[in-house]
Amino acid sequence: MIKKDRHMVKPYLVTRSLFPENQESPIHFLKDSIIHPRHFYRRNHYPYPDLPPKTYLLSVEGSVLRPLTLSYEELCQLPAKTIKVVLECSGNKRTSFHPKVFGEQWEEGAMNQSYWKGVSLQTLFTYTGLSQRAQEVVFVGYDYGERKDLNETFHFARSLPMTKALHPDTILAYELNGKPIPFKHGYPLRLIAPQWYAMASVKWVKKIVVIEETFHGPFQKIDYVYYPDKDSNAQSYPVTTMHVNSTIQQPLDHSILKRGTHDIQGIAWTGEGTIEKVEISLDQGKTWKSASFEQNPTEPYTWVSWSLYWTANQKGEYSIWSRASDSMGRTQPYEPFWNRKGYGYNAICKVDVKVE
């Protein structure tokens, strides 16, 4: 008879909606730098797609010199690379905006970090060539559905400018953590665009189209746009690179702690450069102490784990703040940049605790 450890409790995804399925990672309980797919957040705009019953084929067309059609097996035989990448939903932490905004009310778990293996688009385009007039690359997913605001059916599709598409680390991935990408995370092929918010990393890629103009699909022209004004589209601009950010994983918000020494732990990440420092304040920003990194913070595209020991000798209520700074000179602000759709929240992270 096998005895089960009754003290073993595993974290699970937190459901935000079921149709379509949107679930966030239990980020506060994940200590490994590589997140297992079972803890990988899920962000969908439509129901999961039906993939073709026969051989999967990827077409590369449009403003290319030699249009190309590849099978999954042929793509996997091309020169490949593996990169470790943070993927963060642009709506991560949306629930923290004040005043509140509409949309999936993500807390802090709409993100993850994993290894992705695939073919660089730079490599792929060596086989097709590119027209001198090529301006953007459009990635069309198999997932589709009706947009009620437009009364039309659309596939999820987005574009990258040529400079981003041709970056050597922008890849068409077919493996996640050494295994074929799970269906719910984009099998058979998923675009991975490091440093950009994850809406750019299109899942279930159906085809790639190189165009000579600006792409105006609704998931690029209407959604994933910063609208600073509540009632108009004035001064709007597209969501692209991730902001510098941090999350306090432990202690949890509104925890009750015993007097003594506690290990404040968390992660920090950025979309440009690398994290240079993380600071902790216990007096609402009057003074700051530097946290220690648990690994080399200079690895690109990844988060860093950090910690700081705090001795709480007196009873009372405390607010723990964290702020990260990166090598590009960016630091988390005291207040978020409010925008109508609730993208890119990156204000100083705050956790309230009570010591008894």
Domains, the chain, with CATH or none = 14-223 (3.90.420.10), 245-355 (2.60.40.650)
* Partners of 210 in beta bridges: 62, 137
Cβ–Cβ < 8 Å for 80, 117: yes
Give the residue with greater pLDDT, 7 vs 313: 313
Map tokens 């574009």 to a residue: 159
Check residue 171 and give its pLDDT. 98
Task: Write the DSSP assignment of 222-238 as a string of letters.
Answer: TSSEE--SSS--TT-EE
Structure tokens given for 229: 């004004």
Listed residue (347, 299, 295, 282) closest to 97, CA to CA: 347
* Pairwise CA distance, residues 227 & 328, whole Å: 25
* pLDDT confidence band for 214 (50 / 70 / 90): very high
Spatial neighbors of 262 by CB under 8 A, at least 6 apart, are: 251, 309, 310, 311, 312
Structure tokens given for 4: 């089960």
- My answer on whether omega of the bond before 188 falls inside 30° of 0, hence cis, is yes
* Partners of 61 in beta bridges: 209
* pLDDT confidence band for 3 (50 / 70 / 90): low
* Pairwise CA distance, residues 40 & 162, whole Å: 29
pTM of the model as a whole: 0.95
Q: Which amino acid type is present at position 37? A: P
* Pairwise CA distance, residues 312 & 108, whole Å: 26
Interstrand relation of 57-62 and 205-211 (parallel, antiparallel or unpaired): parallel
**Residue 356: CB atoms within 10 Å:** 9
- pLDDT value at 105 more than 50: yes
Q: How far does Cα 27 stand from its chain's mean position?
A: 13
Check residue 1 and give its pLDDT. 46
* Pairwise CA distance, residues 143 & 157, whole Å: 9
Check residue 226 and give its pLDDT. 98
* Pairwise CA distance, residues 128 & 106, whole Å: 40
* pLDDT confidence band for 154 (50 / 70 / 90): very high
Cβ–Cβ < 8 Å for 337, 236: no
How far is the first Cα of the chain from the last one, in angstroms, to the nearest whole number? 43
Q: What is the mean pLDDT of residues 61-82?
A: 97
Structure tokens given for 259: 């007097």
- pLDDT value at 21 more than 90: yes
